[in-house]
Amino acid sequence: MSHQAGFVSIIGKPNAGKSTLMNALVGENMSIITPKAQTTRHRILGIVNDENYQIVFSDTPGVIKPHYALHESMMHQVDGSIVDADLILLVTDIYEEYDEADVLKKLEGSLAPIAVLINKIDQSDEETVKKKVEFWQEKLKPKAVFAISALLGHNIKAIMDFVIENLPEHPAYYEKDALTDRNDRFFASEMIRAQIFKQYKKEIPYSSEVIVTAFVEGETLHRISAEIIVERDSQKNILIGQGGKMLKIVGTYARRDMEDFFQRKVFLEMFVKVIPDWRSKKNYLKKFGYE
């Protein structure tokens, strides 16, 4: 049998469940998941390997109108993943009020086949789901429409079967033991960022960036140092908390996640640094790994 391989881009608005879907499809926690919108800032590849195929899934930032240079970088990553795609999974959810104009505009130039995934059906009823399916069949005339629950794993196998059926014939793009294009430093920084999203309210998560400054691997212990970047002194004070209490909570939960992920003990130290308006400064964005 010939070998199949291709890029499958997961596209949609913030909070549609793209990262939950990607993790369900790949079977690993590649993308951080929080209840807040715009958690994903980078395009992250999750690779599924089989003797006869290789699927390269792309989890992408939610499509938004850019307000900062950071947002522009995030939207460039979405555009790049659409250009690369052999297949596009457009994720919408049951609460979406048929207002997907920004997402559909991004897809206009693409020749890749599209499947629409209506997510969070576990929070809805049969009649609403049926109306959504009919709307998308009429609106986009996609290759397929799936009603899914990424969180509960409902219809995930059907999506996988659809993807495999529509993969082009091609040699593998990555080594067959590769799970992602990202390194351990990236995942360590994302685990800290996930806790910032979970532990703080309002602008703190959106004004924060995490840079791993040292990552020393050991047989039984990883030593990791990280800087949390914020935009103002007031944010730094909130992030650290009284007597360092809040930062300690972030560190405790992030370290647990890392130990689970790396299967090693982790020594984690974190420092908070202020860089005014870093989200609007292209030199810093480049330094922080945004294209």
Tell me the HSE value of 192 on the side-chain side, using a 13 A CA sphere.
Answer: 27
Strand order in the sheet with 53-59: 44-49, 53-59, 4-12, 87-93, 114-119, 144-147
* 3-class DSSP state of 285: helix
Distance CA 64, CA 80 (A): 15
| 128 marked as part of a ligand binding site | no
| 13 marked as part of a ligand binding site | yes
| 15 marked as part of a ligand binding site | yes
| 237 marked as part of a ligand binding site | no
| 18 marked as part of a ligand binding site | yes
| 61 marked as part of a ligand binding site | yes
| 224 marked as part of a ligand binding site | no
| 46 marked as part of a ligand binding site | no
| 59 marked as part of a ligand binding site | yes
| 17 marked as part of a ligand binding site | yes
Q: What secondary structure does DSSP assign to 133-201, as a single string?
A: HHHHHHHH--SEEEE-BTTTTBTHHHHHHHHHHTPPB---SS-TT--BS--HHHHHHHHHHHHHHHH--
| 60 marked as part of a ligand binding site | yes
What is the total residue count of the chain?
A: 291
Residue type for position 29? N
| 19 marked as part of a ligand binding site | yes
| 198 marked as part of a ligand binding site | no
Distance CA 225, CA 237 (A): 20
Known binding-site residues equal: 12-19, 59-63, 119-122
Known binding-site residues for GTP equal: 12-19, 59-63, 119-122
